[in-house]
Amino acid sequence: MKIPEPITWIPNPRAATISHSPAVAKYFPAGISTRTRNFHIQIPDYHVTPLKSLNRLAYMIGLDKIWVKDEADRLSLGSFKVLGGSYAIHQTILKLLGTPADFSFSDLNQPEIRNKLGQLTFAAATDGNHGRGIAWSAKQLGFKSVIYVHKHTSQARIDAITRNGAEVKVIDGTYDDAVRQVIEDAQKFGWQIISDTSWEGYEEIPAWVMQGYTTLFAEVQQQLVSMGEFSPTHIFMQAGVGSLAASAFGYYASLFGPERPKMVVVEPDQAACLFHSMEVGDGKPHSFPGNLDTIMAGLACGDPNPIAWDVLYDCADGFIKCPDYVAAKGMRVGGVSLEGDPPIVAGESGAVTLGAIMFLMELDRYQNIRDALGLDKNSRVLLVNSERNTDPDDYRRVVWDGGDRIPPEYRVYKNPFLDG
């Protein structure tokens, strides 16, 4: 059996020609991150998550800076996903009430408002983190939730959703099968779906989810300014259906226009629906034909989010797909950091970009990709640890027991602190 390359790359030269993206203008209009953050700061226990500088690691692999936005403690839920889910639920309620946009989180406690809304049930399909965020948000607001997961979802992730008050239904199939089932059941039972992916006739709520994530990047920019920095030169963002990557790229394209950072999508090679869409080459999103068998559970999606794809097709400078051992490397490097760098506890989906940037910078075979992206000793790279170890057993399998080992031919041993 042929050992898969750590990095498989496909460029998108079209992105460099797009000075104005209609998709960015539509989904990330001016001021949207201010609006989403004004909502999120009302949530009890909201705080800004840390932006961690891996300066020693950056020097070791030939970069100026690596910044990791660490979402491991976002509202004690271990993932950024709650930012999108909570904002989408809030916007859905505003629409149901016909209420002005300045309607606040605390206003929902008013008896007349509760009576007008009645007994709402929010539903979603998930690989784990989105469902937990929806369950938590619904519980905070006093509503019910029903969350659909696929049969390979770990018990730890199911238990975390249940602890936040949701009813969990396990579907005999993939994440995409869970999406299809929740659509059918929500129509039958009158539930309100809060999905992070879109389909024909259902785009508004997934757009709100993507917009909700922009709070994360507004925080990043504030944190960079406090460090005396202006912006990253490069952003590497992991993707399942593509909503987080679209939020990142849409935010920065809206903020900086043609002067935006270089932006790259990173996916599992066994669930690379966005990479595959670029391969097809007709400018449309396409389903991935594989079995979605990857340790990166949060990225194991076969169908792209069509509205996210529109943003990525305009803005992503390239797409990378990686085998599981790349994510495993990122988990181990983050957990056992170089002296002087802060540790980062990252789950499989949260760590893949760290693993990818290391392979990309350390192996001579990828010089052409580095040249295409302008990655060098002056580059300042932004990553997002999108989740903590939300499956502790698998985290220990990888980090403690050495699971998903790097093939010998792709291992690099060097110490620039000693060698010059």
Active site residues: 81, 127
Pull the structure tokens for residue 130. Answer: 């989105």
C-alpha radius of gyration, the chain, whole number? 20
Give the Cα separation of 308 and 282 in Å (integer): 16
Which helix (H) or strand (E) element contains residue 234?
strand 234-238
Pull the structure tokens for residue 266. Answer: 């990173």
Four-residue CA torsion sign, 124, 160, 300, 336: positive
Spell out the alpha helix ranges (H) of 322-383: 324-335, 348-362, 367-373
List CB contacts of 243: < 8 A, sequence separation 6 or more. 84, 196, 197, 206, 209, 210, 213, 305, 308
What DSSP character marks residue 343? P
What DSSP character marks residue 233? S
Q: How many angstroms separate the first and last alpha carbons of the chain?
A: 39
Give the Cα separation of 239 and 376 in Å (integer): 24
Cα-based distances in Å from 292 to 197, 285, 295, 324, 408: 17, 17, 9, 12, 25
Q: Decide if 402 contacts 351 (C-beta within 8 A).
A: no
Tally Cβ neighbours within 10 Å of residue 169: 15
342 burial (CB, 10 Å; 0-12 / 13-18 / 19+) is: middle
Pull the structure tokens for residue 142. Answer: 């006093």
Closest C-alpha to 246, from 198, 189, 291: 198
Tally Cβ neighbours within 10 Å of residue 238: 32
- Region of 71 on the Ramachandran plot (φ > 0 left; ψ -120 to 50 alpha; else beta): alpha
User: H/E/C letters for each residue in 235-273?
Assistant: EEEECCCCHHHHHHHHHHHHHHHHHCCEEEEEEECCCCH
Q: Decide if 346 contacts 31 (C-beta within 8 A).
A: no
